[in-house]
Homo-oligomer: A and B are copies of this chain.
Amino acid sequence: MNWIKVFAPASIGNIGPGFDVLGLAIDTLGDTIQAKKIDESIVISEITGFDGLPKEADKNTVSIAASEVLKKLGINEGIEFKIEKGIPPGSGLGGSASSAAAGAFAANYLYGEKFSKKELIGPATTAEAFVSGGYFADNTAPSLLGGATLTREKHPLDIVSLGNIDELLVVIVCPDFKLLTKKAREVLPKNVPMKSFISNMANACLIASAFSKNDYNLFSRCINDEIIEPARASLIPGFLNVKKSALDAGADGCSISGAGPSLFAITNDKQKAEQIGKAMKESFAKSNLESNYYVCKSHKTGTSLVKE
């Protein structure tokens, strides 16, 4: 009965301007799984927390990722999983990626830790792609590695850990509203005006530099996305008002987390963080949307064993 417990943090894809390139792991929200070796096959015996996720091993990213890892290891034995889902599904916080990260990590841990966490990004991303329909590492990479990460190439995967910003507080607001990633992708432009390309690139570069230097002041003025946010804004009821309420409450920046519908806002002031969360929640209420807010920090270590 050697159960292990693994935690994989939620993450924010894009971090504003850095579409499909930047991602950031956050604490407070995440998936926790228990896993143990069994003789054969991969099974999910329990899912708690949020509803609506499949228990079938070939449909859940925990088990798909674990299966990918066992395949790479050439192992024919199995794993039993119990999943405690801590990230609302379809919220834009990388929930399926965190589950995939946890599943890949657990399989690797149970069967000899042959792979580094970086090497687990591939299997986790394959699993996440099965559910999301696209092969993107901007959630699996930060969830596994922690901090901010950059996807340089997808084929083959080339991921760089950028670092952390200690002062950073991220206010996450999840409205009670489903937005399919597929729909959020359909509204994206196929071409980008040169001016917008330059603007997004400049701001994304500064985010990369800010995490590399642990510099909140630099980061605080870079959440500015001229390309993706305007295209998706209308998919989230009340988006512009909620964003305005965050900035009015003192946030240094606010944008959509991944494909949405969750928003994130940033500050380095704890008291302000609470005010920002409340203001955003109230603003969503005006669009008849219930929501929850969470004040998070950057998750430094990424997916790891929970020792009890």
Residues of A within 8 A of B (CB): 18-22, 150-153, 160, 162, 188-194, 197-198, 200-209, 211-213, 218, 221-222, 227
Q: Does the CB pair A209–B206 fall under 8 Å?
A: no
Q: Does the CB pair A150–B197 fall under 8 Å?
A: no
Distance in angstroms from A107 CB to nearest chain B CB is 29
Extra inter-chain contacts (18) besides given A19-B198, A160-B206, A209-B211, CB under 8 Å: A18-B205, A150-B206, A150-B209, A152-B222, A160-B209, A189-B194, A190-B194, A191-B192, A191-B193, A192-B194, A192-B197, A197-B200, A197-B201, A201-B204, A205-B205, A206-B208, A208-B209, A212-B212
Q: Does the CB pair A150–B198 fall under 8 Å?
A: no
Distance in angstroms from A56 CB to nearest chain B CB is 33
Listed from nearest, the 6 A-B pairs whose CB atoms lie closest are: A212-B212, A205-B208, A191-B191, A209-B212, A208-B209, A21-B202
Q: Does the CB pair B202–A151 fall under 8 Å?
A: yes
Partner of A18 from the list B162, B201, B218 (CB cut-off 8 Å) is: B201
Distance in angstroms from A138 CB to nearest chain B CB is 10
Residues of B within 8 A of A204 (CB): 201, 204-205
Residues of B within 8 A of A21 (CB): 198, 201-202, 205
Smallest CB-CB separation from A210: which chain B residue?
A: B212
